[in-house]
Homo-oligomer: A and B are copies of this chain.
Amino acid sequence: MTRRFVLATRNEKKRVELAAILGQALGEDVEVLTAADLDLPEVAETGVTFEANALLKAHSAAAASGLPAIADDSGLAVDVLGGAPGIFSARWAGRHGDDAANLRLLLDQLADVPDEHRGAAFVCAAAYVGPDGAERVHRGRFTGRLIRSPRGDNGFGYDPIFVPEGEERTAAELTAAEKNARSHRFLALTALAADLPPALR
């Protein structure tokens, strides 16, 4: 049976990644519409935690579409930056969504930071909001370290400078299947899928 829901993102790469994870986690056909498909309004991300922003986005998408909505808020938490860029990861260089500028800025900021202090983790909060207002939110963490120059063409965001724990390749050198099997998004969405209200689970 096919389940339909709206994903509160306009990012096509994220849609593909999230749909793959959710299909796997829910074990059934999943039809994913996005904020772009439905032309949903933009949401100001005024929360100061991943969870608050994921819930803001899911509430807005559910209200505007009348469909069950899933949203994630994700980012890279760098140890030596006290968890920044964090919720600001997508706008780190000042404008939303310029991956190349964000990555370049972070490398420049950390230029003098020695290898033993380059720990970081991708963090994801995944939220569900039902048409009835029911809400759920779960967090996932993908730990690793930052290298000094980008490698790999898969993935997006900071993937090319992030080497997961136990790996030598960057997240952008993993296949989508390898990344999806252990990523912050996988962990958060798997936990969320297991906790969805019966109608969607």
The residues of A with any CB-CB pair to B shorter than 8 Å are 44-46, 48, 80-84, 86, 88, 91-95, 104-105, 108-114, 117
Contact = CB atoms under 8 A, between A and B. Distances in A.
Nearest to A93: B105
A83 B85 CA distance: 11
Given A91-B108, A108-B91, A108-B94, A113 B46 contact: yes
Contacts of A104: 94
Contacts of A94: 104-105, 108-109
30 contacts: A44-B112, A45-B112, A46-B112, A46-B113, A46-B114, A48-B80, A48-B117, A81-B81, A81-B82, A81-B83, A81-B84, A81-B86, A81-B88, A82-B82, A82-B83, A82-B84, A82-B86, A84-B84, A88-B109, A88-B110, A91-B108, A91-B109, A91-B111, A92-B109, A94-B104, A94-B105, A94-B108, A94-B109, A95-B108, A105-B105
The main secondary structure of chain A at its interface with chain B is loop
A48 B80 CA distance: 7
Contacts of A111: 91
A184 B191 CA distance: 44
Contacts of A88: 81, 109-110
A51 B91 CA distance: 30
A130 to B, nearest CB: 26
